[in-house]
Chains A and B, each alone.
Chain A
């Protein structure tokens, strides 16, 4: 105990800088600058609103990430539940006073930025459950209460987000939460049974979906069934990616996006534009950068002493992976269209804020990896 304390107290600002994960940092910077180029392309090769706004967000949130890195991981552990409570509060706030855009009420007008609390919940749920399992002894994990409590923690925000309605984000929140349960040691057979019962209840779930969501599922199963309507996005996205070929059409030369055939090209379909212009080779490169980021985060998890940091890192790495996998599967026509942004690449403040804070906490875990949490 003594030794630890001594170590803690000896970490100076200079040492903290030395302790940063530079490979992760460089990868994030690389990704950020890549996203700026793509944003520039979506603006039609001009520095317009989206490019400017994205640039400012990157600068602000990257600095925020660095600041978070220097905050002791302990602090995050202490305040995890508080954050959870705040975000739940914001979600409830949104359901009453949120801004409604194209039929779904997800945003809070915070004057400078339209905040989407559901995006922040994706991180907070990891933080919150990491804290819950940090305390829990291995032998207590599979008790009724210790399963019931985290499940409630997951379901509560899910319901709030679903009611916005935002199926995509609520699924991502659920996955981010469930992975902590998995890492925390909940019996594999529980996951197995749940999965089976989920499959069985799937038809009933579908019958509860909103008509537009049902349409998306049907369209996913057969995009050609309504090529000008619901299937349009999937078809155009596949055309854009497919026509990119091995080397791509070249920077600023993506005809599908340039000529407005691509929907939502700034946000959910940003990868489509990227892949059209930079081709297979560019897409592989992008996946490589993401893989490095995920790998570095997992590595930080391995070297972290505290379960909290470990759980957060593993959980966050998984979350990032799920965001990428869901987004790419969607634009590649492997999953139905569920609104989910590509981390850092997609335009959108809340998503980037959440991701950057996540990176910050991970970085803080690296800087304070020897820190144990009582």
Chain B
């Protein structure tokens, strides 16, 4: 019985203590369920987000750049499908064998192969390694033929920038290439959209308009595993192509400019004298921007860099030249405006004048005899302008020159490399050279030599502002929606009473008229310096002014020798210049031509204007009809 009692007691203790444990178990299980509830029900959203963050990875692809079109809508910077060759290293059994196979098929250089191997080391094995960025069609076909034995090789089609007119637009558009560190650091948008393979503007409008052109990335969403390997694609979000940019330029005229300046160094600019639209702007020689897309080869680069005609310089905006005789319309205008001379004022040209024991030569050794303003402009008599400049003084001349835009950047907001040049006065010399102005300098400034430095685009703007009757215009290279047509601007200018934004640059409109007439006679009257280049048909008839800018001081001996241009070393030859506007009766366009070391303005530059005006005037009607094209392109 004792034993039985004891065993019952023992059993009681056990059962009782079991209950206590049971209660504890209930508590623990409740805590666990509470925890489950809090994780799975209360915080479910938070953890779902975290889990998606874990498993979903976004891959950005290079954005598609916006097209750049000319005035007529022709694509001048577009996008082209290119064939590329990618290799996925993890799918390749023997990488070295594969790469040597590809080397023979694609005839890759050893250097290229080394680079590919170096790139491979930087990638994760499942990331695609770019073997070739731009396969030719035949290479693409070849690869496809061998594809069965090339495991892990992927020929793919992608989009790349393309400049269909090759070198025609290079100095306007610039080009795109892989961004370097500086590009990324300086532009937040590039930083944001950067992905390997992206191309950004390096120069010209491609660079200035980067933020409009770049577009937004395509985004691929992938499910990835814990090691970052892509498992499957969840979504593809198409990015927005960059905005379309429409230029004011006309490809046909641009092509003619390129043609005229073939094998020469120089620049041609053509401008609508009312709207300020630049319809051609070409700097020669140019280079093919398509070479830069996939990284230019050393040999090609050296060829461009070492070309003595300096293709890398945009001469239209960054080339600084003495304006030579093309400054004479401004000198004459300034003299008229300041009432220093009247149109009948005459000077006797004996071929040279002596001043303070210095001799100032006219280009015509025998002299022009007595010349008035019109004759002096027509024959470009230097002695006349020496005298006028002497009477006028450089300070008053500078005021007029400044008004017409000399010494100021014209398109500075769009082109980082544009130079402002300078138009000197007495203060300028004192401040910059620390010396007092001497009268002789006034004289040579009067014929566009000396300290004056202008860019071709400035000369074009100056001519345009004379041609439109002396009104200030704002040159532009991009079309914009709210812009007035040239007809509307003409009407506004005619209606003198209306309050418009057109600032007149003259005191007396008759003065402008006199200058225009003088320029007309220079081209269209016998003994005019560009008489040979004239067009009699009033439809194309233009008025202009030649210029021949000395590159170095002509020594006495050289003057006596009177060498022909071809006999002088290239570097020492004069720059040939020409400025003009037309059609004369009712002008619409102005142009400036500069041929570096081209000899004289009348023999080299002016004949180009003839060809240009024929085309420009013929294109004018077409251009007027296309004024509404802009609506469709914006």
Q: Which of A263-291 contact B (CB under 8 A)?
A: 275, 279-280, 283-284, 287, 291
Is B37 a contact partner of A242 (Cβ separation < 8 A)? Answer: no
* Cα of A291 to Cα of B223 in the assembled complex, Å: 38
Residues of B within 8 Å of A238, CB to CB, are: 39, 47
* Chain A residue with Cβ nearest B10: A138
Q: Specify the main secondary structure of chain B where it touches its partner.
A: helix
Among candidates A244, A245, A298, A310, residue contacting B11 with C-beta atoms closer than 8 Å: A310
* Cα of A303 to Cα of B28 in the assembled complex, Å: 25
Instruction: Report the minimum CB–CB distance from B329 to chain A (whole Å).
Output: 75
Instruction: Report the minimum CB–CB distance from A254 to chain B (whole Å).
Output: 9
- A329 contacts the other chain (Cβ, under 8 Å)? yes
Is B28 a contact partner of A307 (Cβ separation < 8 A)? Answer: no
A 13-55 binary contact with B (CB < 8 Å = 1; else 0): 0000000000000000000000000000000000000000000
Contact status of A275 and B36, CB under 8 A, knowing A242-B44, A245-B44, A302-B15: yes
Is A259 a contact partner of B225 (Cβ separation < 8 A)? Answer: yes
Is B39 a contact partner of A287 (Cβ separation < 8 A)? Answer: no
* Chain B residue with Cβ nearest A304: B11
B 1-29 binary contact with A (CB < 8 Å = 1; else 0): 00000110111011101100110010011
| Interface segment, one of A73-81, A177-185, A340-348 | A177-185
- A256 contacts the other chain (Cβ, under 8 Å)? yes
Contact status of A183 and B14, CB under 8 A, knowing A238-B47, A239-B50, A332-B39: yes
Instruction: Report the minimum CB–CB distance from B189 to chain A (whole Å).
Output: 32
Q: Which of A195-220 contact B (CB under 8 A)?
A: none
* Chain B residue with Cβ nearest A310: B14
* Cα of A307 to Cα of B6 in the assembled complex, Å: 11
Residues of A within 8 Å of B36, CB to CB, are: 241, 275, 280, 283-284, 332
Among candidates B32, B40, B51, B223, residue contacting A287 with C-beta atoms closer than 8 Å: B32
- A137 contacts the other chain (Cβ, under 8 Å)? yes
Is B225 a contact partner of A260 (Cβ separation < 8 A)? Answer: yes
Among candidates A236, A246, A302, A307, residue contacting B10 with C-beta atoms closer than 8 Å: A307
* Cα of A318 to Cα of B28 in the assembled complex, Å: 12
Residues of B within 8 Å of A117, CB to CB, are: none
Among candidates A280, A294, A325, A334, residue contacting B40 with C-beta atoms closer than 8 Å: A280
Residues of A within 8 Å of B48, CB to CB, are: 242-243, 245
Instruction: Report the minimum CB–CB distance from B81 to chain A (whole Å).
Output: 35
- B121 contacts the other chain (Cβ, under 8 Å)? no
Residues of B within 8 Å of A301, CB to CB, are: 18
Is B226 a contact partner of A259 (Cβ separation < 8 A)? Answer: yes
Residues of A within 8 Å of B46, CB to CB, are: 242
* Cα of A184 to Cα of B13 in the assembled complex, Å: 8
Among candidates A259, A298, A310, A328, residue contacting B223 with C-beta atoms closer than 8 Å: A259
Residues of A within 8 Å of B227, CB to CB, are: 260
- B231 contacts the other chain (Cβ, under 8 Å)? yes
Instruction: Report the minimum CB–CB distance from A187 to chain B (whole Å).
Output: 11
* Chain B residue with Cβ nearest A313: B18
Contact status of A255 and B55, CB under 8 A, knowing A242-B46, A260-B225, A332-B39: yes
- A240 contacts the other chain (Cβ, under 8 Å)? yes
- B224 contacts the other chain (Cβ, under 8 Å)? yes
Is A261 a contact partner of B21 (Cβ separation < 8 A)? Answer: no
* Cα of A239 to Cα of B6 in the assembled complex, Å: 54
Residues of B within 8 Å of A321, CB to CB, are: 25, 28
* Cα of A318 to Cα of B11 in the assembled complex, Å: 17
- A127 contacts the other chain (Cβ, under 8 Å)? no
Instruction: Report the minimum CB–CB distance from A83 to chain B (whole Å).
Output: 22
Instruction: Report the minimum CB–CB distance from B633 to chain A (whole Å).
Output: 47
* Cα of A323 to Cα of B388 in the assembled complex, Å: 110
* Cα of A279 to Cα of B47 in the assembled complex, Å: 13
Candidate in B10, B41, B50 with the most chain A CB atoms within 10 angstroms? B10
Residues of A within 8 Å of B35, CB to CB, are: 332-334
Is B51 a contact partner of A240 (Cβ separation < 8 A)? Answer: yes
* Chain A residue with Cβ nearest B47: A242
Residues of A within 8 Å of B6, CB to CB, are: 137-139
What number of residue pairs across chains A and B have CB atoms under 8 A from each other?
126
* Cα of A332 to Cα of B38 in the assembled complex, Å: 10
- B365 contacts the other chain (Cβ, under 8 Å)? no
Residues of A within 8 Å of B7, CB to CB, are: 307
- B33 contacts the other chain (Cβ, under 8 Å)? yes
* Chain B residue with Cβ nearest A281: B40
Instruction: Report the minimum CB–CB distance from B510 to chain A (whole Å).
Output: 83
Q: Which of A127-180 contact B (CB under 8 A)?
A: 137-139, 179
- B212 contacts the other chain (Cβ, under 8 Å)? no
Among candidates A182, A185, A259, residue contacting B21 with C-beta atoms closer than 8 Å: A182
- B119 contacts the other chain (Cβ, under 8 Å)? no
* Cα of A369 to Cα of B216 in the assembled complex, Å: 77
Is B22 a contact partner of A298 (Cβ separation < 8 A)? Answer: yes
Residues of B within 8 Å of A242, CB to CB, are: 39-40, 43-44, 46-48, 50-51
Residues of A within 8 Å of B628, CB to CB, are: none
Candidate in B17, B41, B224 with the most chain A CB atoms within 10 angstroms? B17
* Cα of A334 to Cα of B55 in the assembled complex, Å: 25
Is A291 a contact partner of B39 (Cβ separation < 8 A)? Answer: no
- B54 contacts the other chain (Cβ, under 8 Å)? yes
* Cα of A246 to Cα of B36 in the assembled complex, Å: 10
Instruction: Report the minimum CB–CB distance from A157 to chain B (whole Å).
Output: 22
Instruction: Report the minimum CB–CB distance from B41 to chain A (whole Å).
Output: 6
- A311 contacts the other chain (Cβ, under 8 Å)? yes
* Chain B residue with Cβ nearest A295: B22
Residues of A within 8 Å of B224, CB to CB, are: 259
Instruction: Report the minimum CB–CB distance from A324 to chain B (whole Å).
Output: 8
* Cα of A49 to Cα of B223 in the assembled complex, Å: 25
Residues of B within 8 Å of A107, CB to CB, are: none
Residues of A within 8 Å of B31, CB to CB, are: 334
Instruction: Report the minimum CB–CB distance from B151 to chain A (whole Å).
Output: 24
Is A311 a contact partner of B14 (Cβ separation < 8 A)? Answer: yes
- A314 contacts the other chain (Cβ, under 8 Å)? yes
Candidate in A138, A236, A246 with the most chain B CB atoms within 10 angstroms? A138
* Chain B residue with Cβ nearest A262: B226
* Cα of A53 to Cα of B420 in the assembled complex, Å: 83
* Cα of A284 to Cα of B36 in the assembled complex, Å: 9
* Cα of A280 to Cα of B40 in the assembled complex, Å: 6
Residues of A within 8 Å of B25, CB to CB, are: 294, 318, 321, 325
Is B47 a contact partner of A243 (Cβ separation < 8 A)? Answer: yes
Is A239 a contact partner of B51 (Cβ separation < 8 A)? Answer: yes
Residues of B within 8 Å of A283, CB to CB, are: 36, 40
Among candidates B15, B21, B44, B54, residue contacting A246 with C-beta atoms closer than 8 Å: B44
* Cα of A302 to Cα of B16 in the assembled complex, Å: 11
* Cα of A301 to Cα of B231 in the assembled complex, Å: 52
* Chain A residue with Cβ nearest B7: A307
Residues of B within 8 Å of A280, CB to CB, are: 36-37, 40-41
* Cα of A259 to Cα of B234 in the assembled complex, Å: 14
Is B32 a contact partner of A298 (Cβ separation < 8 A)? Answer: no
Is A241 a contact partner of B29 (Cβ separation < 8 A)? Answer: no
Instruction: Report the minimum CB–CB distance from B256 to chain A (whole Å).
Output: 63
* Cα of A238 to Cα of B44 in the assembled complex, Å: 10
Residues of B within 8 Å of A318, CB to CB, are: 21, 25
* Cα of A328 to Cα of B14 in the assembled complex, Å: 27
* Cα of A256 to Cα of B17 in the assembled complex, Å: 42
Is B40 a contact partner of A328 (Cβ separation < 8 A)? Answer: no
Among candidates A138, A245, A311, A329, residue contacting B41 with C-beta atoms closer than 8 Å: A245
Give B residues with C-beta under 8 Å from A: 6-7, 9-11, 13-15, 17-18, 21-22, 25, 28-29, 31-33, 35-37, 39-41, 43-44, 46-48, 50-51, 54-55, 223-227, 231
Q: Can you offer 10 A-B residue contacts whose CB atoms are under 8 A? A: A179-B21, A241-B40, A246-B40, A259-B223, A259-B225, A260-B225, A261-B55, A275-B36, A298-B22, A307-B11
Shortest 6 CB-CB contacts between residues of A and residues of B: A242-B47, A243-B51, A259-B225, A260-B226, A280-B40, A242-B39
